[in-house]
Structure 1
Amino acid sequence: MDMLIAFDSTQQALRAEMLLEYADIDIDTCPTPKEITAGCALSIEFSREELQEVKEIIISQKVEIKGIFERKEKHYVEVK
């Protein structure tokens, strides 16, 4: 999995996890990498192929996120 959503609150992370699982998107919940400053220790990983659908769900359901990041070698870069 090469994409990651970081959150400012655990409540929003758990909400996003539920919504993405309901949409049958393959995700993994993981600790937020130290290089990403976020208010929540949980992040969600998913495949790049799912990016558009993930964005649509996040926006339509008004999930509050810190950002969506892509893994580039050993670092994460925010996706706009």
Structure 2
Amino acid sequence: MENSLVMAFDSTQQALRAEMLLEYAEIEIDLCPTPKEITAGCALSIQFGSEDLKRVTEIVHDQSVEIRGIFRRSASGYEEL
């Protein structure tokens, strides 16, 4: 995915819940392993296009999904937004 962002979680339950909510909202996502540069309690992350950032953050906030953070790949690894 070009210009993709990664949302990391502290629990698998929250990752799977977010996956379900985002798929229901018809946002194109990929469930992927959490990059080793991101410290999180869950081995699963969700990758999505940066053009969907606003909708993703609205859904996560409105549905009280607990996330570790949303990250963008940078030259030095990943930086939190």
Q: State the TM-score, normalized to the length of structure 2.
A: 0.93
Q: Distance in 1 between matches of 2:9 and 2:61?
A: 14
Aligned partners of 1:78, 1:28: CA distance in 2, in Å?
19
**Partner of residue 28, structure 2:** 26
One-letter identity of the residue aligned with 1:71: R
- Number of aligned residues: 79
Partner of 1:60: 62
CA-CA distance at 1:74 after TM superposition: 6.0
Structure 1 segment 1-80 matched on structure 2, within 5 A: 1=1, 2-73=4-75, 75-79=77-81
CA distance in 1, matches of 2:75, 2:51: 18
Task: Show structure 1 runs of 5+ residues with no match.
Answer: none
Q: Match of 1:70, as an amino acid?
A: R
> SS in structure 2 opposite 1:45?
strand
TM-score with structure 1 setting the length = 0.95
Q: Deviations over 1:37-64 (max 9, x none)?
A: 1000000000000000000000000000
Counterparts of 2:76 and 2:49 in 1: how far apart (Å)?
A: 16
What fraction of aligned residue pairs are identical, expressed as a percent? Answer: 67
In structure 2, the gaps of 5 or more residues are none
CA distance in 2, matches of 1:21, 1:72: 27
**Superposed structure 1 runs of 4+ greater than 3 Å apart:** none
What's the RMSD between the two structures over aligned residues?
A: 1.0
